[in-house]
Amino acid sequence: MVKKKFYWKTVFKNISQSKGRFFSIFMIIFLGAAVFSGLRNTPYTMASSVDTYLNNHNYADLTYIATLGFSDEDVAKVRSLRGVKKVVPCYQFDALFSHKDGKSGVTVYSQDHYDQNMLDRPEIVKGRYPKKEDECIIDVNLGKYNYKIGHTIELSNDNGTKTYKIVGIVNDPRYISNVDRGTNTLGDGTNSGFVEVLNDGARELGLNSKVAQLRNNDHLYTSLLVDVEGAQNYDLFSSYYDDMIETVNTRIKSTLSEEISDQYDQLTGDMQSQLDDAKKQYEEGYQEYKRNLDSFNSQISEGKVKLAQARIQFYEQKKVYLKKASQITQASQQAYNETKKIDQEIKTLQNSIKDTLGSIKDKESAEDAYTKILTEMNESLGQFNQKLQGVGQLLEGRIQLEKAQSQLDEAEAELNIQQSKLEVTENNAKLQLNSAKEQLDQAKAQIEQAESQLSQIPKGTLYSLTKSENVGIATYESYKQAIASIAQVFPLIFFLVAALVSLTTMTRMIEEQRGYCGTLRALGYSKKDIIMQYIVYAFLATFFACISGILVGNQAFPRIIYFLFTYLMYGINQSAVLVQKWSISLVTILISVGVTLLATLSVCLQELVSTPSVLMRPKAPKAGKRILMERIPFIWKRLNFNQKVTMRNLFRYKKRFWMSVIGIAGCTALIMLGFGVKNSCSEIIPSQYVEVYKYDALIKLNTNVEDTKKIENKIKRLEGIHNLTSAMRQNITVLGNSEDYYSTMIVYDNADEIKNFIHFKDYKTKKKIILNDEGVVISQKLAEKLNVKKGETLTFSLNNSKYTVKVADIVEHYVNHQVYMSKTFYENLTGMKSSASILYVDMNTKKSNINALKNYFDHHDIGSMERLTATLDEFQQRMSSLNIIVAILSGCAALLCFIVLYNLTNINIGERKGEIATIKVLGFRRKEYCDYIFRENIILSLIGASLGMFFGYFLHRFVVLTVEMDNVLFIRTMPLYIYLIAFGMTVGFTIIINLAMRHILDQVNMVESLKSIE
Interval 72-84: pLDDT, tens: 888 899 898 998 9
Q: How far apart are CA 379 and CA 389, in angstroms?
A: 15
Most confident stretch, 85-89, 568-572, 939-943: 85-89
Instruction: Kindly report which listed range (93-102, 220-229, 422-431) carries the lowest average pLDDT score.
Output: 422-431
Per-residue model confidence (pLDDT) at position 137: 92
Contacts of 368 (CB under 8 A, 6+ apart): none
Are 36 and 492 contacting, i.e. CB atoms less than 8 angstroms apart?
A: yes
Per-residue model confidence (pLDDT) at position 631: 72
Q: Is the pLDDT of residue 673 over 70?
A: yes
Instruction: Kindly report which listed range (17-26, 107-116, 246-255, 936-945) carries the lowest average pLDDT score.
Output: 17-26
CB atoms inside a 10 Å sphere around CB 762: 16
Question: What is the C-alpha R_g of the chain?
Answer: 54
Question: What is the per-residue pLDDT across 158-201, written as a single tens digit (0 to 9) for each?
Answer: 888 899 999 999 988 888 887 777 777 776 567 788 899 998 88
Question: What is the per-residue pLDDT across 463-477, written as a single tens digit (0 to 9) for each?
Answer: 888 887 787 888 788
Per-residue model confidence (pLDDT) at position 167: 92
Indicate the pairing of strand 801-811 with strand 793-798.
Answer: antiparallel
Question: What is the per-residue pLDDT across 298-328, written as a single tens digit (0 to 9) for each?
Answer: 766 776 676 666 667 766 666 666 666 666 6
Per-residue model confidence (pLDDT) at position 1014: 47
Most confident stretch, 234-238, 495-499, 512-516, 907-911: 234-238
In 229-323, DSSP assigns E strands to: none
Instruction: Kindly report which listed range (609-618, 829-838, 946-955) carries the lowest average pLDDT score.
Output: 609-618
Per-residue model confidence (pLDDT) at position 820: 92
Per-residue model confidence (pLDDT) at position 1: 46
CB atoms inside a 10 Å sphere around CB 873: 14
**CA-based nearest residue to 711, from 838, 887, 898:** 838
Per-residue model confidence (pLDDT) at position 224: 92
Helix, strand, or coil here: 624?
A: coil
Name which residue leads in pLDDT, 584 or 915: 584
CB atoms inside a 10 Å sphere around CB 430: 14
Average pLDDT rounded to a whole number, residues 244-251: 90
The C-alpha torsion from 475 through 476 and 482 to 485, rounded to 10°, is: -130
Contacts of 387 (CB under 8 A, 6+ apart): 338, 339, 342
Name which residue leads in pLDDT, 56 or 961: 56
What's the chain's average pLDDT?
77
**CA-based nearest residue to 33, from 589, 556, 579:** 589
Average pLDDT rounded to a whole number, residues 620-637: 68
For residue 259, the surrounding DSSP H or E stretch is: helix 239-358
Q: Is the pLDDT of residue 402 over 80?
A: no
In 24-91, DSSP assigns E strands to: 62-70, 84-90
Per-residue model confidence (pLDDT) at position 931: 74
Phi–psi pair at 65, nearest 5 degrees:
-130, 130
Are 700 and 188 contacting, i.e. CB atoms less than 8 angstroms apart?
A: yes
Direct distance between the N- and C-terminal alpha carbons of the chain, in angstroms, rounded to an integer: 37
Q: At what angle do helices 471-512 and 527-568 cross, to 10 degrees?
A: 160
Are 499 and 595 contacting, i.e. CB atoms less than 8 angstroms apart?
A: yes
Per-residue model confidence (pLDDT) at position 731: 81
Per-residue model confidence (pLDDT) at position 108: 92
User: In this prediction, what percent of the chain has a pLDDT beyond 70?
Assistant: 71
Q: Is the pLDDT of residue 791 over 50?
A: yes
**CA-based nearest residue to 968, from 776, 813, 741:** 813
Q: Is the pLDDT of residue 209 over 60?
A: yes
Question: What is the per-residue pLDDT across 502-511, written as a single tens digit (0 to 9) for each?
Answer: 777 777 777 7
Average pLDDT rounded to a whole number, residues 20-26: 76
pTM of the complete model? 0.69
The C-alpha torsion from 989 through 991 and 993 to 998, rounded to 10°, is: 180
Given phi > 0 = left and psi -120 to 50 = alpha, else beta, which region is 30? alpha
Quick one: three-class SS letters along 419-448?
HHHHHHHHHHHHHHHHHHHHHHHHHHHHHH
Question: What is the per-residue pLDDT across 856-903, written as a single tens digit (0 to 9) for each?
Answer: 766 666 666 777 766 666 666 666 666 666 677 777 777 777 777 777
Per-residue model confidence (pLDDT) at position 2: 47
Q: Answer positive or negative: Cα dihedral of 462, 466, 471, 474.
A: negative
Q: How far apart are CA 78 and CA 256, in angstroms?
A: 8
Q: Is the pLDDT of residue 456 over 70?
A: no
Question: What is the per-residue pLDDT across 343-383, written as a single tens digit (0 to 9) for each?
Answer: 666 666 666 666 665 655 555 555 666 566 666 666 665 66
**How many helices (H) and strands (E) in the chain?**
27, 20
Average pLDDT rounded to a whole number, residues 453-472: 73
Per-residue model confidence (pLDDT) at position 271: 61
Are 517 and 608 contacting, i.e. CB atoms less than 8 angstroms apart?
A: yes
Per-residue model confidence (pLDDT) at position 374: 63
Average pLDDT rounded to a whole number, residues 617-623: 63
Contacts of 496 (CB under 8 A, 6+ apart): 591, 666
Q: How far apart are CA 594 and CA 499, in angstroms?
A: 10
Contacts of 24 (CB under 8 A, 6+ apart): 505, 899, 902, 903, 906
Q: Is 233 exposed, middle or buried (0-12, 13-18, 19+ CB in 10 A)?
A: exposed
Are 88 and 61 contacting, i.e. CB atoms less than 8 angstroms apart?
A: no
Instruction: Kindly report which listed range (153-162, 484-493, 881-890) carries the lowest average pLDDT score.
Output: 881-890
